[in-house]
Amino acid sequence: MLLKNLSECNGTSGAEKEVRDVLCEEIKSWVTSVSIDKIGNLIAYAY
């Protein structure tokens, strides 16, 4: 399902928010912290 959701997202250069949101929802249960930096990188920590 993840691959299908990602392939349906608009992820063109400069418009990756939709992809980032899908990934964020998908990894939330596996990590302790999720953040997005100033340039839009998704950063996840698992302690």
* SS3 readout for 1-47: CHHHHHHCCCCCCCCCHHHHHHHHHHHCCCCCEEEECCCCCEEEECC
Query: CB of 6 within 8 A of CB of 22?
Result: yes
pLDDT score of 29: 92
pLDDT score of 33: 95
Q: How many domains are there within the chain? A: 1
Query: CB of 19 within 8 A of CB of 9?
Result: yes
Token couple for 6: 């990602």
pLDDT score of 14: 87
pLDDT score of 47: 87
The predicted-structure confidence for 1-47, as pLDDT tens digits, reads as follows 889 999 999 988 888 999 999 999 999 999 999 999 999 999 999 98
State the residue range of the domain holding 7.
Answer: 2-45
Closest by CA position to 6, among listed 30, 23, 29, 24: 23
